[in-house]
Amino acid sequence: MTPWVLLDSAEVPGNGGELRLYRRGDEFSIKIAGRGELMNSRVHGSEEALAELGCARLAGCANPRLLIGGLGMGFTLAAALRQLGDQAQLVVAELVPAVVAWNRGPLGELAGYPLQDSRVTVREGDVARILKTGRQAYDAILLDVDNGPEGLTRKNNDWLYSIDGLGTAYEALRPQGVLAVWSAAPAQDFMQRLRKIGFEVEQVRVRARGKKGSRHIIWFAKRVV
């Protein structure tokens, strides 16, 4: 079997460990040192579904503005761009600058170099900080941060999924706006927190890879007022 080759590594701010980018033939993997694989270029169906199903819930919204938390390998961003018109605006928040560089370099071709699209603005930093500065700024917020509510990389990510974090996301959405959250596994208490904030919540199970692979979870939480 062709061995994995380490291409680069980068520290996750806030003592989140070390991200490592690997390649094996035409396959790429991003792993967190000592804690396993975070994402693989052959398994991205649920990341695309996050954008496709999220954007579908914006039907009739003229010139939507979206915030995407977590760039990953660019599949969510690319899927959103395919769904939206020429006047859409997409802000991508990525905590690890190296991940942005990887998407401009060796990972770029995987999703068709979405960072080159003129509708995209990249913000290198914590998506939580961006949420706190944008009151009713977005029609949709797509979060694919860490591993969902049960994170792997940074304890600080827990805030995003807390009552305070979800309340901040609620305030950052425009009326009828949608918060879409990707997760590797179900979390009943997370749904309860979303409802407590005032969201209308729907849970959807999607496949990680086409009609195969494990099932992941996406929550769609709508701000109705």
Q: Who contacts 188 (Cβ-Cβ below 8 Å, separation ≥6)?
A: none
Q: Is residue 30, in this structure, part of any structural domain at all?
A: no
Q: What are the DSSP calls for 149-202, one per residue?
A: SS-SS-GGGGGGGSHHHHHHHHHHEEEEEEEEEEESS--HHHHHHHHHHT-EEE
Q: Is residue 31, in this structure, part of any structural domain at all?
A: no
Q: What CATH number does the domain containing 124 carry?
A: 3.40.50.150
Q: What is the pLDDT of residue 218?
A: 94
Confidence of residue 69 (pLDDT cuts 50, 70, 90): very high
Q: Is residue 10, in this structure, part of any structural domain at all?
A: no
Q: What is the pLDDT of residue 8?
A: 98
Q: Is residue 6, in this structure, part of any structural domain at all?
A: no
Q: What is the pLDDT of residue 150?
A: 64
Q: What is the pLDDT of residue 152?
A: 47
Collect contacts of 207-216 with beta carbons under 8 A, ≥24 apart.
207/45, 207/46, 208/43, 208/44, 208/45, 208/46, 209/42, 209/43, 209/44, 209/45, 210/45, 213/43, 213/45, 216/46, 216/182, 216/183, 216/184, 216/185
Q: Is residue 131, in this structure, part of any structural domain at all?
A: yes
Radius of gyration of the chain (CA): 16
Report how far residue 212's alpha carbon sits from residue 158's, in angstroms, rounded to the nearest whole number.
Answer: 30
pLDDT at position 197 over 50: yes
Q: Is residue 125, in this structure, part of any structural domain at all?
A: yes
Structural domain range at position 88: 44-222
Q: What is the pLDDT of residue 154?
A: 45
How many structural domains does the chain have?
A: 1
Q: What is the pLDDT of residue 210?
A: 60
- Residue whose pair of structure tokens reads 């579908």 in the numeric block: 56
Q: Is residue 155, in this structure, part of any structural domain at all?
A: yes
Q: Is residue 126, in this structure, part of any structural domain at all?
A: yes
Q: What is the pLDDT of residue 209?
A: 64
